[in-house]
């Protein structure tokens, strides 16, 4: 059953990639823990990777959100914000779909 689901998922991903459209990933960097926990968007740099290839990066200021148009596929989103420790997010971008991404950074 697991192999069947994996095969169906891979086929769907290949089909999305073959369509040639674009999807949109939108989001923000947020802090948790420490003296500055906040649901507000924080400053930092967002880097988008496909495998080992850097696709795009963007510097954000406090309060700013990011928006990237990407070919359908699987991406790793990485945030760098001062000395905060930020978790990478694996994101599946679909054709003509908007995907929300929340990059959370732990502060001391």
Q: Tell me, which fold does domain 2-106 have in CATH?
A: Immunoglobulin-like (2.60.40)
Q: Does the pLDDT value for residue 106 go beyond 80?
A: yes
Q: CA 99, 52, 87, 82 torsion: positive or negative? A: negative
Q: Quote the CA–CA distance of 64 and 14 in Å, as a whole number.
A: 33
Q: Does the pLDDT value for residue 29 go beyond 50?
A: yes
Say what the pLDDT of residue 19 is: 55
Query: What tokens appear for 36 in the block?
Result: 């500055």
Strand-pair category, 85-86 with 53-60: unpaired
Say what the pLDDT of residue 16 is: 45
Q: Does the pLDDT value for residue 40 go beyond 80?
A: no
Say what the pLDDT of residue 36 is: 61
Q: Which residues contact 102 (CB under 8 A, 6 or more apart)?
A: 27, 28, 30, 89
Residue 6, classed as helix, strand or coil, is helix
């Amino acid at each position: 059953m697991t192999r069947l689901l994996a095969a169906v998922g891979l086929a769907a991903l290949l089909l999305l990639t073959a369509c040639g459209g674009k999807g949109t990933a939108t989001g923000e960097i947020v802090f948790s823990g420490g003296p500055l926990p906040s649901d507000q968007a924080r400053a930092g740099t967002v880097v988008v990777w496909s495998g080992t290839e850097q696709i795009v990066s963007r510097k954000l200021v406090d309060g700013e959100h990011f928006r990237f148009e990407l070919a359908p596929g699987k991406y790793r989103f990485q945030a760098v914000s001062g000395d905060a420790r930020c978790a990478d997010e694996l994101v599946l971008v679909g054709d003509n779909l908007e995907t929300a991404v929340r990059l959370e950074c732990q502060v001391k």
